């Protein structure tokens, strides 16, 4: 009986080891590099309409501009796409820990982020705005002494820190949280991308915006582990979609306006 119990324990241990090995490949490679797996895992933060958001009307499915691009690229590469939703500030950490194979979240490839990840080509460009419900806020000078909301870890957080002087920067995890803080008056304004702001401006006539003039071009790109061959494969398919007009069609569909696809 003891012998049978020991055999059962050894069998269970072996099964556990196999299961673990299926999730974490040797050398920390991504699951997309495994010959035994046809699943590719995308990390995102599904609070960034229309790039990625939860469609509550259709079973809480995560949909959006980035999602459609990722699905098409994954299909072209012969993978099944799995999506992991998490806070924006956790995405690159999850990537480098091997929990996801790549990241798409309307992410701008800043120099700081390039130290921890390799990026695809930029596939979409947009502008940044100051959004508030105070019509008197019309310039960066007007923001002195104000509380300015930003998404934690976002390019907008860096813009606020660099360009808005003598203001209190309030970093929160989710865009809807920041909008709610503005509506309740706990913060005065926020830095937000124009394509994302459009939804909230349409929902609330009290909200107003003005553009932040930035000489550096900002755009969205997918992030990969350093030296991951998947980046080059992804990039090849992304370029095809840009060249044949698929990216522009998706941008027009999701943003409902003239798109500015990257050249």
Enter the tokens of residue 24: 């974490």
Instruction: State the pLDDT at residue 89.
Output: 92
**In 3-state terms, what secondary structure has residue 209?**
strand
* pLDDT range class, residue 157, cuts 50, 70, 90: very high
**In 3-state terms, what secondary structure has residue 160?**
helix
Instruction: State the pLDDT at residue 215.
Output: 57
Give the lowest-confidence range in 24-33, 64-73, 191-200.
24-33
* pLDDT range class, residue 58, cuts 50, 70, 90: confident
What tens digit of pLDDT does each residue of 116-152 get? Answer: 999 999 999 888 999 999 888 999 999 999 999 999 9
Question: Per-residue pLDDT for 261 more than 60?
Answer: no
What tens digit of pLDDT does each residue of 72-95 get? Answer: 999 999 999 999 999 999 999 999
Instruction: State the pLDDT at residue 9.
Output: 41
Question: Per-residue pLDDT for 7 more than 50?
Answer: no
Q: What percent of the chain has pLDDT over 90?
A: 70
Question: Per-residue pLDDT for 104 more than 50?
Answer: yes
Instruction: State the pLDDT at residue 252.
Output: 87
* Mean pLDDT along residues 108-115: 92
Instruction: State the pLDDT at residue 98.
Output: 96
Question: Per-residue pLDDT for 19 more than 50?
Answer: no
Query: How would you write 169-188 as a 3-class SS string?
Result: EEEECCHHHHHHHHHHCCCC
DSSP symbols for 220-240: E--EE-TT-HHHHHHHHHHHH
What tens digit of pLDDT does each residue of 172-225 get? Answer: 999 999 999 999 999 999 999 998 998 899 999 999 999 997 655 568 999 999
Q: From the CB of residue 187, how many other CB atoms can be counted at a distance below 10 Å? A: 22
Question: Per-residue pLDDT for 21 more than 70?
Answer: no
Helical residues (DSSP H) of the chain, grouped into ranges: 2-23, 65-77, 91-96, 111-114, 155-163, 175-184, 194-203, 229-243, 246-255
Domains and CATH numbers, the chain: 28-125+219-255 (3.40.190.10), 128-211 (3.40.190.10)
* Mean pLDDT along residues 157-165: 91
**Global pTM value:** 0.70
């Amino acid at each position: 009986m003891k012998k049978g119990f020991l055999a059962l324990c050894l069998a269970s241990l072996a099964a556990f080891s196999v299961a673990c090995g299926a999730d974490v490949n040797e050398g920390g490679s991504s699951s997309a590099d495994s010959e035994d797996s046809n699943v590719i895992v995308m990390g995102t933060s599904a609070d960034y309409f229309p790039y990625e958001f939860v469609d509550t009307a259709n079973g809480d499915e995560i949909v959006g501009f980035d999602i459609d691009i990722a699905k098409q690229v994954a299909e072209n590469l012969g993978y099944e796409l799995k999506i992991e939703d998490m806070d924006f500030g956790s995405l690159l950490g999850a990537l480098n820990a091997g929990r996801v194979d790549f990241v798409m979240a309307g992410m701008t490839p800043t120099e700081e982020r390039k130290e921890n990840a390799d990026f695809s080509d930029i596939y979409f460009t947009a502008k940044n705005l100051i959004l508030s419900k105070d019509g008197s806020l019309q310039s960066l000078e007007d923001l002195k002494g104000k509380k300015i909301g930003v998404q934690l870890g976002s390019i907008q957080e860096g813009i606020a820190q660099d360009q808005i002087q003598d203001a209190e920067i309030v970093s929160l995890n989710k865009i809807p949280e920041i909008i709610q803080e503005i509506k309740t008056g706990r913060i005065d304004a926020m830095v937000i991308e124009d394509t994302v702001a459009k939804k909230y401006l349409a929902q609330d006539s009290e909200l107003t915006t003005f553009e932040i003039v930035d000489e550096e071009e900002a755009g969205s790109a997918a992030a990969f582990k350093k030296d991951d061959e998947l980046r080059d494969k992804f990039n090849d398919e992304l370029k095809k979609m840009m060249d044949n007009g698929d990216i522009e069609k998706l941008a027009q569909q999701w943003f409902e306006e003239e798109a500015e696809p990257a050249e």
